[in-house]
């Protein structure tokens, strides 16, 4: 496995993906009624809900690509991967508050990120996971392929994992 795919997140927010789905349905109805503008709706609609964005790393060429893509077609410039100091896995908690007149609530989401750390204070966010074990396994794979160390910061305390081949 020479190329490793990171996050495959939707390019557009959910409301635009819903609009894309509605455009496909409207385009189908328009074509059924012999209106050729439906072709445009059918072309634009899937782009709104199928377009993804993410990061790919080519270990053999030591390069990375920040891409936009549909299915297995990836568009983006390959860049040389800088010297990686270490790979880190950490826990991140996001909170979103919601208020409507007298009712309020909070949505809390915890996930685990795997980042590549460069010598200067710079990082490349590679992938986000819901599962801690999957995040650490991906971090181990990256550290092994890039010949560097792994910093496990998921418990709030830094733990260096020098032997990345041992199981979690």
**How confident is the model over 113-123, as a mean pLDDT?**
82
**To 10 degrees, the CA torsion angle through 12, 16, 19, 24?**
-10
For residues 40 and 22, what is the distance between their CA atoms, to the nearest angstrom? 13
Domain residue limits, the chain: 3-79, 82-160
**To 10 degrees, the CA torsion angle through 91, 97, 98, 103?**
120
Residue 22 is predicted with a pLDDT of: 92
| pLDDT tens for each residue of 125-160 | 888 888 889 889 988 988 888 888 899 888 888 888
When comparing pLDDT for 136 and 71, which is higher? 136
Three-state secondary structure call for residue 146: coil
For residues 33 and 5, what is the distance between their CA atoms, to the nearest angstrom? 42
């Amino acid at each position: 496995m020479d190329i490793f795919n990171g996050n495959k997140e939707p390019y557009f927010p959910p409301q635009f993906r819903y609009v894309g789905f509605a455009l496909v349905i409207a385009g189908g109805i328009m074509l059924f009624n012999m209106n050729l503008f439906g072709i445009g709706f059918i072309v634009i609609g899937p782009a709104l809900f199928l377009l993804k964005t993410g990061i790919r790393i080519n270990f053999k060429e030591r390069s990375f690509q920040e891409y936009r893509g549909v299915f297995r077609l990836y568009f983006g410039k390959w860049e040389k991967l800088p010297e990686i100091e270490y790979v880190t896995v950490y826990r991140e908690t996001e909170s979103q508050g919601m208020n409507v007149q007298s009712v309020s609530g909070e949505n809390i989401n915890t996930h685990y990120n795997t980042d590549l750390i460069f010598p200067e204070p710079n990082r490349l966010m590679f992938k986000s996971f819901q599962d801690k074990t999957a995040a650490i396994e991906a971090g181990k794979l990256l550290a092994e392929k890039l010949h560097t160390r792994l910093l496990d910061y998921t418990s709030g305390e830094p733990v260096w994992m020098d032997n990345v081949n041992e199981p979690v």
